[in-house]
Structure 1
Amino acid sequence: MSKKVLVLSASPRKGGNSDTLCDQFMLGAQTAGKQAEKIFLRDKKINYCVACDACKGNSGNCIQQDDMAEILAKMIAADVIVLATPVYFYSMDAQLKTLIDRTYSRYTKINNKEMYFIITAADGREQAMERTIEGLRGFTSCLGGAKEKGILYGIGAWNIGDIKGQPAMEEAYAMGKNA
């Protein structure tokens, strides 16, 4: 049975640098015979968690009527989850943080996942992205049995397309193939 790979692209720009790396990761995964799906968060309606805790008395079902229940079900079913974000002010963007916060209702069901992080930034230094990585690790440390399998740094990428032709493109493909 092939692995199910779920790529969560938090780029606000379709075809943006982190989204382009997501496509390369998926291409590598599909080439290796894995099932791969990308969810482009910008196209989804995901409300903020309002900390009402209704989900805890409602079998883990959030009372908000948006796209998060479908995404969460796919996260639970996946073997591999890729969290991809551009770096904004040395942290993940709002789209990804909102998604992470909304996993609250069922995060204890997101178990035994292989996790990959794809992050892009205009800054050319990997160490400038450590706050972003720590934020992603904060989330995955709450997931039972999560295993960090790889980090892809797309550095020096400001404008759409800046990532093309950089080593990160080949690295994303190889990472997906080996996922």
Structure 2
Amino acid sequence: METIAQPQIFCVEDDKMYQGLIENELVKKGYENISMFSSGKTFIDNLYKMPDIVFLDYSLEEEFTGIDLLRKVKSFNPDIQVIMLSGQENMEVAVNSLKYGAYDYVIKNDFAYRRISTLIGRICKWNTMLKRSKQLKRTERGIFLALGLVVAAAAVFSFMY
């Protein structure tokens, strides 16, 4: 059985206490590639590092909202999976997050850590399947290209001889 690589995880949370709780929980679960950001600007400046998963606070206390950052992430690379975190149990907020491309919406409560861990596992499996699918498509294209070249060469040789 193939092992799933450690995901690169970013967390954008302006509440230092909650940020620390998330980081501790992720480390306890064995995740190592974790980057924590307390501002949207710093997060955007580091987006080039291509995280696999982003935990994003819906209500940031600065110039960017969580939705603004979600849209930036998805326009930068739609394959980055974003999980919105919020203290709001508002259906409209959750639907809005999903509408703009969030993988899921997690309410900050006692069950959030368990849910976060489950979501990371699902995303890792999904990303592995997505990479395999892309590799198969590249292989398939290569085979068709090679077949096309063989057919073209055969046609050229049939005219020559």
Q: TM-score, normalised by structure 1?
A: 0.48
Q: 1:117 to 1:68 in 2, by over 3 A?
A: closer
Gaps of 5+ in 2: 124-161
**Cα distance 1:133–1:107, how it changes in 2: closer, same or farther (>3 A)?**
same
- Would you say how many aligned residue pairs link Structure 1 and Structure 2? 119
Runs ≥4 residues deviating over 6 A:
102-106
In structure 2, C-alpha distance between the alignment counterparts of 1:83 and 1:106, rounded to whole Å: 11
Matches within 5 A, 1:147-166: 148=103, 150-155=104-109, 166=110
Identify which of 19, 33, 36 aligns with 1:35.
Answer: 33
Q: Which has the higher strand share?
A: 1
Higher relative contact order (CA 8 A, sep 6+): 1
| 1:73-108: CA deviation from partner (whole Å, max 9, x where unpaired) | 24xx111111123xxxxxx44548446536877853
The AA in structure 2 aligned to 1:137 is: L
Percent of paired sites with the same residue? 8
In the alignment, which residue of structure 1 is the partner of 2:85?
A: 118
CA contact (8 A) 1:22 1:118 kept: no
Q: Partner residue of 1:23? A: 23
What's 1:134 paired with? 95
Match of residue 16 from structure 2: 14
Larger Rg, first or second structure (1 or 2)? 2
